[in-house]
Amino acid sequence: MILNRRSLMTTALTLGAMKAFPGLSFAQARPLVFATFTGSWEEAHKAVLVPAFRKANADAAMVLDPMLSVDQIAKVNAAKANPPIDVMLHDPGPALVAIGQDLVEPYPVEKSAYYKDLIGEAQEPMGPAPFFQVVGLTYNPEAVKTPPTSWADLWKPEFKGRVGITNLNSTLGTGWLVEIAKMRGGSEANVDPGFKALEELKPNLAAVAANPGALATLFQQGQIDISPGNFNAIQILKARGVPVEFVAPKEGAIAFKTTIHIVKNSPNRELAFKLIEAALTPEVQTTLMNPPYLIVPTNSKVTMGGEIARVLAKDTAELKQKFVFQDWKKINEQRSAWIERFNREIKI
């Protein structure tokens, strides 16, 4: 058995609960487990969402467990009757998979104090969307003197050995592949032009990161100068003093919603609901909209401001007008095959 800090903490909390309530089983007694994403998401949730949840719920025991969506789904699928996760966070593609595989419960909309205040696109009955994400071009302004304007700039000779990308397990990686496929005549149903473009990009590639958090680390370590990247991940790097900037490419930055779900058969169903409610509040969304997190809010009572209003959009109407929303139902039909192909063909 591998013991790490998280497993030790989880065990200690669980044993404490079982001692206080002898009738509880191990599964019933364990703390709430929230699977968030790695990198900036983990940092934002640890600093803002988790404290807000605990404050509103008598310091309820919980564990933040960062991992990719595909890993969340695999873990829950492996133990459907006794899932090790209570709350999952997903981008559009994995959310459709989790719902299709009957891994999540309908959100109790009738109990929610905040669901009705979400903009229409965020009102998902199988799990609301507390946040939007935006993907564009990120670059080191100390190394890249002329800001990029197009996805096509990544292929420029001056970036030989200085470009970073992620693999296709992340929404960032798959969404970006679809956009470069579109740039060369493809679509959500045909990414062959995108794979051809990736082959041509190999001389420029410095690294293929395992996830967006690892991609951000490459900027921090000075291993790459330019990449596709998440807006909010870059803002956290900037707050640390890392020289990095974000720009929306002329083809349109990719925007997608991030949904949050109660896992089916969770022994902590009520606490899971309360954690999601905390994520939907104007207070949490406003805090996460501000530096250093700059996550795009979905509660209509939150007025967009600061860097989000300056760089992205002043309101959700402008956001929907300026950015590209992809067809993830169509993407999911072939995504697994694309991931296998990427892992087989794109090696540096």
We report the CATH number of the domain holding residue 290 as 3.40.190.10
Q: What is the pLDDT of residue 1?
A: 32
Write the CB contacts of 281 (distance below 8 Å, at least 6 apart in sequence): 52, 114, 299
119 lies in the same domain as 191: no
Strands 296-297 and 131-139, bridge-based pairing: antiparallel
Give the pLDDT score at 170.
Answer: 86
Residue 4: predicted pLDDT: 43
Query: What is the phi-psi region of residue 297: left when phi exceeds 0, alpha when psi lies from -120 to 50, beta otherwise?
Result: beta
277 & 247 share domain:
no
Does 126 share its domain with 167?
no
CA 112 vs CA 125, 175, 277: distances in Å? 11, 31, 7
Asked if residue 322 belongs to a domain, the reply is: no
Q: Is 205 helix (H, G, I), strand (E, B) or coil?
A: strand
147 and 249 part of one domain? yes
Asked if residue 338 and residue 203 are part of one domain, the reply reads yes
Asked if residue 231 and residue 162 are part of one domain, the reply reads yes
Please state the domain count of the chain.
2
Interatomic CA distance for residues 191 and 199, integer angstroms: 13
Tell whether 305 is covered by a domain: yes
The answer on 218 and 341 residing in a single domain is: yes
Note whether residue 321 is domain-resident: no
Distance CA 183, CA 132 (A): 23
Residue 182 lies in a domain: yes
**CB distance 255 to 324 below 8 Å:** yes
Specify the pLDDT at position 29.
Answer: 67
Q: Which domain holds residue 275?
A: 32-131+256-311
Residues 217, 137: one domain?
A: yes
- pLDDT tens, the chain, 348 aa long: 333 445 455 555 555 555 555 555 555 568 999 999 988 789 899 999 999 999 999 999 999 999 988 899 999 999 999 999 999 999 898 999 999 999 999 999 999 999 999 988 899 999 999 988 899 999 999 999 999 999 999 999 999 999 999 999 888 999 999 999 999 999 999 999 999 999 999 999 999 998 888 898 899 999 999 999 988 888 888 888 999 999 999 998 998 889 999 999 999 999 999 999 999 999 999 999 988 888 889 999 999 998 888 888 888 788 778 889 899 999 999 999 999 999 999 987
Same-domain check for residues 114 and 72: yes
Closest CA to 295 of 34, 35, 32, 37: 37
What's the whole-model pTM score?
Answer: 0.77
Residue 36 inside a domain? The answer is: yes
